[in-house]
Structure 1
């Protein structure tokens, strides 16, 4: 239980710290773009090597594919509804929704794999990816009309608490969660992660940074891949 709590906090605290940074300081747009692009690179590595690949090797390809598409579909629909309701502010809220949609399955997988060596790798990948998401999301909402810093901080803090509880709960139920179920949530998380990248994180990073952000994305991928090796 203590180990699960510590792992959960390690993935959740970057959200709170990142949101605080995004709300407190006006980070230069090129720096913010670089952070978002770096986070995108780490998420690409996590989606492939830590989420979908293990799922693909555990269950039938069609099973993993359906879960992958379900994760992407849920995020895309949620993001579209936010866009219709909130307009420009939907970018920041979309990042928070994406953090929940891929974070819950990721932290579930983390909780049930604490006894395995891969748990540390997934922990690092989640923590690295969460920080720029929170910075970018909080900063974007702050700069939109009606964006309340206090409300934004409370929502990101609530997201962090949820992810800690998911990790602890998954660890407690680890023995009763079968490998097929773990593979399903891993593939779902992979799909949601890909959708976050394509729909929100990478377009926003390119918009704020320009042509060079592809280099930072590649660097983030490399760092996460090395950690996974």
Structure 2
């Protein structure tokens, strides 16, 4: 459990790195869009080969289908709730909706990050060691996410201390999510583990399609397709060689 918490914290710490870059580095919105596209490709690969394929190997088709649908629906409903409060612009480097409050930022970051962190903890189930591809995917995707959102928060006039406080809280939640992902499923039935893996995969896929890809394309245009493939291919090679 402590190992899962540690690796969850490592993945979540990328949020702090991205926040620092978004606040202090003169990064253009085009570059942010390209980095988001690369991170999207990396996560797509992790979802396909480290979560969905592994879940299918554990328990077959039914658990995968139910988990994917459950994760997608859960994220969809949570995201719909936040959209109505201005949270749909939480990854926008130019700032959020003027009516969006801190609660939308916090809940949005948690909604995006917890399934990824839980996936890190789940990858340790079975005693095979940390899923390197999952960890790298989460770390790489967290950097542009926090970079973009932090740029937007600064544009909205939110203080640096408050921004880092937000990402610090999300990093702590990510650590807990990874630990729980391992602790709850460590001795669970393979069907339960497979369904949970698929649930995380469904939530992550929905998040990518709903929030990451649109923002990336908006700011980097057609080049996003190419860098997404590069990200996917890089993560696939890492998974295959791990």
TM-score, normalized by length of structure 2?
0.82
Structure 1, unpaired ranges of 5+:
none
Superimposed CA distance per residue, residues 21-78 of structure 1 (whole angstroms, 9 cap, x where no aligned partner) = 2233341111111110000000110110011111122224232212111111121222
Q: Which aligned runs of 4 or more in structure 1 are off by greater than 6 angstroms?
A: none
Q: Does 1:103 align with 2:116?
A: yes
The structure that is helix-richer by fraction is: 1
For residues 165-216 of structure 1, the C-alpha deviation after alignment (integer angstroms, 9 at most, x for no partner) is: 2333444556423322221221011111111111110110000011111111
1:185 and 2:192 are equivalent in the alignment: no
Q: Distance in 1 between matches of 2:42 and 2:213?
A: 12
Q: How many residues are aligned here? A: 227
Quote the residue 1:73 is aligned against.
Answer: 73
Contact 1:40 1:201 in 2 (8 A): yes
Name the structure 2 match of 1:43: 43
Who is 2:153 aligned against?
Answer: 141
1: distance between equivalents of 2:134 and 2:3? 15
Assess if the C-alpha contact under 8 Å between 1:7 and 1:167 holds in 2: yes
| Mapped partners of 2:222, 2:133: distance in 1 | 30
Superposed CA RMSD in Å reads 2.4
Partner Cα separation in structure 2 for residue 179 and residue 161 of structure 1: 28
Between 189-198 and 99-108, the greater mean CA deviation after superposition = 99-108
Distance in 1 (CA, whole Å) between partners of 2:149 and 2:73 is 21
Distance 1:13 1:91 in 2: 17
Displacement of 1:4 in angstroms is: 3.5
What SS is found at the alignment partner of 1:112? coil
Is this contact kept in 1: 2:38–2:231, CA < 8 A? yes
User: Which residue does the alignment assign to 1:27?
Assistant: 27
What SS is found at the alignment partner of 2:27? coil
Shift of 1:159: 1.1
- 5+ residue gaps, structure 2: 93-104
Whole-angstrom CA distance in 1 between matches of 2:26 and 2:79: 25
1:150-169 Cα deviation digits (max 9, x unpaired): 33321211111122223334
Is the 8 Å Cα contact of residues 42 and 128 (structure 1) preserved in structure 2?
A: yes
Describe the SS at the equivalent of 2:222.
Answer: coil
Is 2:170 aligned against 1:156? Answer: no
Distance change in 2, residues 1:191/1:151 (3 Å): same
| CA 142–18 in structure 1, closer or farther in 2 if over 3 Å, else same | same
Distance 1:141 1:126, change over 3 A: same
Alpha-carbon distance between aligned partners in 2 of 1:124 and 1:88, rounded to the nearest angstrom: 26
